[in-house]
Amino acid sequence: MSEDMPDQDEAQPIETQTLPLDAWHRAHGGRMVPFAGYHMPVQFEGIMAEHLWTRERAGLFDVSHMGQVLLTGADVAGPLEQLLPGDLHGLKTDRMRYSLLLAEDGGILDDLMITRLASTAPFGMEDEGGEAFYMVVNGAVKYEDISFLREHLPDEVTINHLEDHALLALQGPGAGDALAQLLSGTDALYFMQAGGFDWDGVPLWISRSGYTGEDGFEISLPAADAERFATALVALDAVKPVGLGARDSLRLEAGLPLYGHDLTEQTTPMAGGLGFALSKRRREEGGFHGHERVLGEHRDGPVTQRVGLLIDGRQPVREGAEVVDEGGQAIGRITSGGHAPSLGQPIAMATVPAAFAAIGHRIHIRQRGKDFTGTVAAMPFVQQRYRRASKGS
């Protein structure tokens, strides 16, 4: 028997780095694999059990490989809006937004979360007044992102890579109650809101967000305190550590794209199905990288589109399988795929020509010489259960 599809990124840097919770993961039975240049736990007790636990209770994920970046200066939103199509001027303090780092041609260099801060004090930085934003970017491209920001932002914007901070995600319907057992005040946060907290003298930056489709939090804290805090979390009945394997199946069910797989530099925001990331004012005013192309596609539709697929039968199709037309010609590609534990069937994301992207369209796929069929389906595949603020609050 041989595994012929790697469960990790193919391109490994020369030396795989360790993260602050490395020893903690090993002590908790994590099976470590190289991912995005780091040793990461792919699973603890098993991907299926961890996936279902997260959907029912609460999973603790270590996402410290991701890039945490502070941007400060007298005017940050202005120059940053040239690189991102989101409304940053209109972003309120302690509110966050999903956005995209765009190359000059409008291709997606990364997808990210950005929060406007009142001050950088929660991250242990001396506050210098002016504007401050906190950005979380993908681990696999964080150094490229930071170089791109340095190159394209004026010198007056200070870029701080928070390499001494860990990032944990607590996700699932039990996450709110669990965190409230350790801290007071986190219940006041709704989806896409954030704030500073204190746990036993440790400064925490907590947002109500995540990438599983469930309610939950992302928690940034000094790396030196990460073990102690993770231990306090998993001591709670509802919380178990969860690995990268379940993180991938959870985000796939939630219809959330993974950069480097479902989105690349060749993907435009509309092709990526991310039209919602083009804020209204930005659509009207433009003024961001690739805006002519991006807004043209917003008006006329993209050439290709990211779609969700329900795959017939039980055998999963994986990244790299070809989408073919009736005549067997390759017309697209599976960008993510696997078994969906909450649905009990295989699902996938694919890039297909726009003419094939309508919900209900039948799709033919070829993988390792074998033919598969599927149907374009609405995403998310599994209902998202974010804790949203009611309108007007």
Partner 1 sequence: MKRYFTEDHEWIAVEGDEGTVGITDYAQEQLGDVVFVEVPDSGAMLKKGNDAAVVESVKAASDVYAPVSCEVLEGNDALGDEPGLVNSDPEGEGWFFKLRLEDKDELAELMDEAAYKEYVASL
The residues binding partner 1 (CB under 8 A) are 1-7, 42-43, 46-48, 51, 245, 249, 314-316, 318, 338-339, 341, 346, 368
Nearest approach, Cβ of 309 to partner 1 (angstroms)? 16
Residue closer to partner 1, measured from CB, 5 or 11: 5
166 contact partners, CB below 8 Å, separation of at least 6: 19, 20, 21, 62, 64, 220, 221, 222, 223, 226
Residue closer to partner 1, measured from CB, 48 or 232: 48
Nearest approach, Cβ of 51 to partner 1 (angstroms)? 8
State which amino acid sits at residue 271. A
280 contact partners, CB below 8 Å, separation of at least 6: 87
What φ, ψ does residue 269 adopt, rounded to 5°?
-55, -45
Residue closer to partner 1, measured from CB, 51 or 116: 51
Residue closer to partner 1, measured from CB, 17 or 315: 315
Residue closer to partner 1, measured from CB, 42 or 169: 42
Nearest approach, Cβ of 7 to partner 1 (angstroms)? 5
Residue closer to partner 1, measured from CB, 45 or 227: 45
Nearest approach, Cβ of 217 to partner 1 (angstroms)? 25
Beta bridge partners of 93: 116
Are 127 and 121 in contact, with CB atoms under 8 Å apart? yes
End-to-end distance of the chain based on CA atoms, in angstroms? 57
Cα three-residue angle 337-339-344, rounded to 5 degrees? 140
* Whole-angstrom Cα Rg for the chain: 21
Which among 372, 360, 297 has a CA at the least distance from the CA of 334? Answer: 372
Nearest approach, Cβ of 215 to partner 1 (angstroms)? 23
Nearest approach, Cβ of 368 to partner 1 (angstroms)? 8
Dist CA 296 CA 113 (whole Å): 25
